[in-house]
Amino acid sequence: MTTVRTRFAPSPTGYMHIGGMRTALFNWLWARHNNGVFVLRVDDTDRQRNVEEALGPILQAFKWLNLDWDEGPEVGGPHGPYFQSERGELYSAAVEKLLAEGKAYRDYDTPEQIQADREAAQKEKRPYINIRRSLELPEATLKQYEEEGRPAVVRFLVPRDQKVEIEDEIRGHVEWDASLISDPVIQRTDGTPLYNFATVVDDAGMKITHVIRAEEHLSNTPTQVLLHQALGNEIPTFAHIPFVTAPGTTKKLSKRDLSKYRTNPNFKKMFDRADQVFPMIGLGSSETLNPVMVEYYEKIGYLPAGVLNSLARTGWSLDDKTEILSLDTVIEHFTLDRVVKNSAALDPDKLFSFQSHWMSELSLEEKIDGCTPYLVNAGIIEETAENVEHGFIGSVILSLGDRLKLFSDILDVAYFFQEDIAYSEKDFNKRVAKEGVPELLTEYSVRIAELDEFTVENLEETLKTLCEEKEVSTGLLIHGLRIAVTGSPVGPGVYDCLLLVGKDKSIERIKAAVNKVVT
């Protein structure tokens, strides 16, 4: 039985697109489901890019999500090189083979001639099909052009008397009329290959059995099938998956539309969170990292399990009801016939719900390990070989309970670790500077100072007793107390907050808040 071999071939852009990661995941899942091979190769034919720097974030995305590759950068393999920039001789040899067999030709048409042909086709309202003028040139002329080094591209000679047909694993039977296909350029005047040609040479050379890619590549398929046939290759199985759309639209998720996403109700929370967290940990803002990038999810504190669960469910399903899926479960059940044909939206709310579930599955130690770097990077605690804050961080996490959705959420309760706290003027005026509250706070601080045991039970009993005596609602004091002690209107229970801040510091903060009202 033939071993299933899939591939993902990113260009080194400097970031990993979340939609591209979904495509990579589907390739990886199909290989793993069939005990096959997943190949990572790099389409780095753009020589203007610094490949090493640009490739780093892409490889890191795979590593963070624990999606290993069997062949490719850093691991090698029997079918390398795995960088297109190092495969030039293979492309040149394939071009020469097609030229020698009369399946390709050198085209000496100038850009001006081609443009004129296009304009004529447009004027006559017919499809543009290139004119094969160079095939009509005498041998002597062709030899002269070659000797004088006249610029020429190499075009593949499309057999226009046939249909191109495939059985797509997702879209079913698809066919094209080859008579409507222009002869594609397969080699530029500088000798470098074009995408469609290099991809065919690479897929054949790396023995790829299944080409699983986004649906926008469907239009490339007829040319690639014809090239495979011309080169005598075994044609791979194609599966064109739906592209990932922005929430609430049918348009492909794109970095170019970031300004629109900022006002999208679903995405806005993600941008706002980035603008809050990233400056604290030295990563700029959502201008630097945003939800289109895989790195955003890593840096903001998502779990690989949450992101993978979401990506697996974006265009694929196990059945009509199961949402929570471990990676092992998806590997076991992943089949291409369960992939939908329609575009699939990235749903931030659903992604967040997956994240919440997988965060709840972590042990306390795992949560501490995940949260601590945020406190360190924000300069809130110091990084030491044996962090003295370890146990205290655990206590804070326990107080948060299921409020801890992302590891970066620990920064929302930085007041537990800081000496000084800041107040929102609006919250302070509403909760602390309110009539009667400063007096209640002062009296409460006196009473808790006299407590022999500083416990949640005693703190609660003391507050209730004071409010009964003063004939006021407990909420009046609770809200003022929370702002005075933490500076935040939300968070763990107010008595847990007092306990974590500590007796002396709580009293000190209450006094500071009251003095702020007075002054």
Question: Catalytic amino acids?
Answer: 255
DSSP β-bridge partners for residue 210: 6, 237
Q: What is the rounded CA–CA span in Å between residue 410 and residue 428?
A: 22
Strand 185-187 with 172-177, pairing? unpaired
Q: What is the rounded CA–CA span in Å between residue 198 and residue 196?
A: 6
Phi, psi of 72 (to 5 degrees): 140, -165
Q: What is the rounded CA–CA span in Å between residue 519 and residue 514?
A: 9
**How many other CB atoms sit within 10 Å of the CB of residue 52?**
9
Q: What is the rounded CA–CA span in Å between residue 151 and residue 110?
A: 9
Phi, psi of 138 (to 5 degrees): -60, 155
Phi, psi of 174 (to 5 degrees): -135, 135
Tokens of 47: 């020589």
User: CB-based contacts of 355: which residues, under 8 Å, 6+ apart?
Assistant: 302, 303, 306, 307, 310, 405, 406
Half-sphere exposure of 438 (CA within 13 A, CB side): 14
Q: What is the rounded CA–CA span in Å between residue 10 and residue 42?
A: 6
Residues 182-194 as b or e (16 or more Cβ within 10 Å = b): bbbbbbeeeebbb
Element (H, E) at 485: helix 474-486
Residues 442-472 as b or e (16 or more Cβ within 10 Å = b): eebbeebeeeeeeeeeebbebbeebbeeeee
Element (H, E) at 478: helix 474-486
Q: What is the rounded CA–CA span in Å between residue 217 and residue 121?
A: 25
End-to-end CA, the chain: 83
User: CB-based contacts of 195: which residues, under 8 Å, 6+ apart?
Assistant: 43, 45, 220
Q: Which CA distances in Å does 436 have to 48, 464, 478?
A: 68, 16, 13
Q: What is the rounded CA–CA span in Å between residue 422 and residue 366?
A: 30
Write out 428-473 in H/E/C secondary structure. HHHHCCCCCHHHHHHHHHHHHHCCCCCCHHHHHHHHHHHHHHHCCC
Amino acid at the residue 466? L
